Amino acid sequence: MSLKILIIKLGAKGDVVRTLPILEALKEKYPDSSIDWVTKDNISDLFNNNQKINKIFVLPCNINQEYDLLFNFDIEQDATKLAEKVKAKKKYGFFSKDGFPSAFNLASEYYLNTLFDDELKKSNKKTYQEMMFEAAELNYQKQPINIYLTEEEKEFGNNFIEKNKINKEKLIGIHLGSAPRWPSKAWHEEELKKFILLASKAGHQILLFGGPDEIDKHNKIIKEMRDKKITIFENNPRNSNREFFTLVNLCSLMLCGDSFALHVALAFKKPTIGLFFCTSPDEVEDYGLLKKVVSPMLYDFFPERMNEYNEELVKSIKAEKIFKLI
């Protein structure tokens, strides 16, 4: 009889992506296991076409069956409450005690402490994956992030290339948006435009990635570049996650902030340049693919002032430096 395993990881989307290596480790250790995963609707399609997953539960949900192992990698209240409620013979990760996150097992306490101790957060050198594997008491060997595209999704990508007459070998994807929570994660628009000019003049093509929040900014940049006789391609800002994955997979190189796009790029084994302004570069696994460019001002803001916007900070990485790296 196969081992029944439940994983809970709800968000943020980038963190769900970089928790995927847990699947590889569990299947290495328990090859006959059946693995279910609880997440939110906005990222549930991440698991499409993934044969290592038996079933996806999307919140809100009721889970009545009993599991052999439960791993909760999330401190959100919805996750910790569910982790307490679900029956399992052994539990790892996090639950809620008197309204505060607590650890089921001793090995989970380190990650929990990094969330509430700024000095530990600043001194920590473990990647997110290392800390999640530690919490799960699994052996971390840089197991990969795997996202599996369908043939139809690959065809969507091929059609995008053909329609726009793009040379994939010269295509640089750029995703440099930021959530309101971390306004200084996004590169300054002036430096971004300088980089686009330098890369375009060197024969590279640019695919801008963004969501609804970036529409006005992207329209402005695209118009300015068009006036300079430079064509920029862009994703549909209302792309599904799966369409986003497919377009990232087309690029020869990705330029990102510390974001969802960065982890997706690494899943598709793309050489990636990551810009770090106010979040920890040490927590991001590089997989031998990621070149981390760290602002000289980062530790003036990380971690205590991560939520501030500072123009000098977001201008502190220069376009010329990034251009030399590509």
Residues 218 and 268 in one domain: yes
Report the predicted TM-score, pTM, of the whole model to 2 decimal places. Answer: 0.96
Is 148 a domain residue?
no
Listed residues 106, 136, 166: the one ending a domain? 136
Residues 129 and 197 in one domain: no
pLDDT of residue 1: 64
DSSP letter string, 244-302: HHHHHHH-SEEEEESSHHHHHHHHTT--EEEEESSS-STTS--TTTEEEEE-TTHHHHT
* Mean pLDDT within 143-151: 98
Residues 310 and 269 in one domain: yes
Listed residues 108, 136, 164: the one ending a domain? 136
Is 147 a domain residue?
no
Q: Is the pLDDT of residue 55 over 80?
A: yes
Domain of 74, in residue numbers: 4-136
CATH code, domain carrying 89: 3.40.50.2000
Question: Domains in the chain: how many in total?
Answer: 2
For the chain, the average pLDDT equals 96
Listed residues 136, 168, 192: the one ending a domain? 136
| Cβ neighbours of residue 2 closer than 8 Å, sequence gap 6 or more | 32, 33, 34
pLDDT of residue 59: 95
Q: For a pLDDT cut of 70, what percent of the chain falls above it?
A: 100
Q: Is the pLDDT of residue 83 over 80?
A: yes
Residues 192 and 240 in one domain: yes
Distance between CA atoms of 104 and 84, rounded to whole angstroms? 10
DSSP letter string, 177-189: ---TT-GGGSPPH
pLDDT of residue 232: 96
Is 90 a domain residue?
yes
Residues 200 and 317 in one domain: yes
Distance between CA atoms of 317 and 191, rounded to whole angstroms? 8
pLDDT of residue 177: 81
Residues 195 and 293 in one domain: yes
Residues 188 and 224 in one domain: yes
Is 143 a domain residue?
no
Is 141 a domain residue?
no
What confidence tier does 181 reach under pLDDT thresholds 50, 70, 90? confident
pLDDT of residue 97: 87
Residues 130 and 157 in one domain: no
What confidence tier does 266 reach under pLDDT thresholds 50, 70, 90? very high
Residues 261 and 183 in one domain: yes
Residues 186 and 314 in one domain: yes
Residues 83 and 169 in one domain: no
Residues 225 and 296 in one domain: yes
How do 67-72 and 205-209 pair as beta strands? unpaired
